[in-house]
Chains A and B, each alone.
Chain A
């Protein structure tokens, strides 16, 4: 992992291990995840369903359910005044953690249909977070702020919308309201967990524009989770490819797209259709199936589905190999993979 502790880094996750304990069985969901989130940049985490993307985002805000545990590793938040906060060591719903939630780090969830409380007006739900972090505002001031937040996210007739209930909003409007809520206290970091999966393409594009605007105008650091390589190409500055609880490749988006060094990344890239190539282009699905999390391969998690797998891959998980400045991979055979090109 990069050791340059330049002040762009606002959040550093290092060798994070998280397990879930369900039905007396232990599921090692995260198995040593490391990445940085930087000011004014977007990190995209991409990977197939169940690989641990949401768990990663929820660990940062300590929103994991009771049946899970952070086993080891660290999550460090670098405050603007230079102090460092070890989020993994804070009490889960304790005062310190709560003071950071919403104020310094905000999160947007996948499904805007269920993430808003149906019995309160959208305005009320935005004011709730402002009230929590900026006590002492009058009712009028609060109302003004919530209306302004909605208007900034491009919601027309914000004064009226402010007093409406979530069921009166369309999906895209709700997601805007969620972002308005997330941005209301001007957080340093915005975690977006598949913010557009539930929305159609044009609405998604608008939401992405909004997020890019935040990055540009407020210097917000964004971590965006997706399982869509197309979204990565559009949004990311850095990309982290995740497979079964490991980040198997991490780097600047242009480096990773130009020189994929992990067979899984390569497979993902091959599976996106390219515009203009016509309808006869060969889309190759990834061979084999995702392993059962309770019955994982011993060595490299991708080994059973990998064309490059050798003997060593079956017994040992590769550690992070340096490819070039800021580009890392977890593959013993990355040189071969690189040489073969895309």
Chain B
């Protein structure tokens, strides 16, 4: 693992969808056993590659609108030696095909890489039915499943390339839009190992996905108020990097979690479990407060569901204030 953090965190020029499409098609060209399955949302992540579907016979397959069958089929393909990646919007992976992921996938030792796109508020104008604040929650108690949320395109590319080599069940909750650049090209990431992307001593913000950029902004604001905040990118939500969580608890004495997901059974809950059992320090959670999603643009939704840097600042101050002298 060797990360190089970007100096400026402006939006990437490439969308996450473009990064995924480029990476997976390159992998399919390198290894004919790698497959990409779609359930009629191919255009949304593979873009123009769907028009070249004939270039990847037996590799790029549009199953139709049938996510449960797609994932069951992917499990069968993996049983027979193929390496399938299967994509749909996150709710249709995590909710619609939940039992297929459990039985045909995890319980059966299958080798399927699930890509759930538009997590949380990133579903934007598709609204409440498409806005998964519960996908991690719905999958976190599945043994043998690794859950990740790539932070930017550099990481996404690295993780997808690693997944092509790894055996087992993986769920990647993944943005499609352009996101803030956090890492420089050439960074390498180790699944299960969190990255400290900013040092600090008074409080640690443990974030994932789009909340990492918000955490960095929050850390800057806190700095101005004389609070030194550490920022940890916890891109592997399961298995959690417990060592890192304990280290941060010990060294900074207070934790804030930040996730584009429900405060129940996501990153925040996972961190609390580790903290409570090992080294009890104050924890505050930034996340969606057990409510349903709704339509809107990203800026509106961030405010509506309290997922802004300002929300992290408030919680960080609260956590730091709760520290025992």
Chains A and B form a bound pair: no
Task: Give B contacts to A, CB under 8 Å.
Answer: none
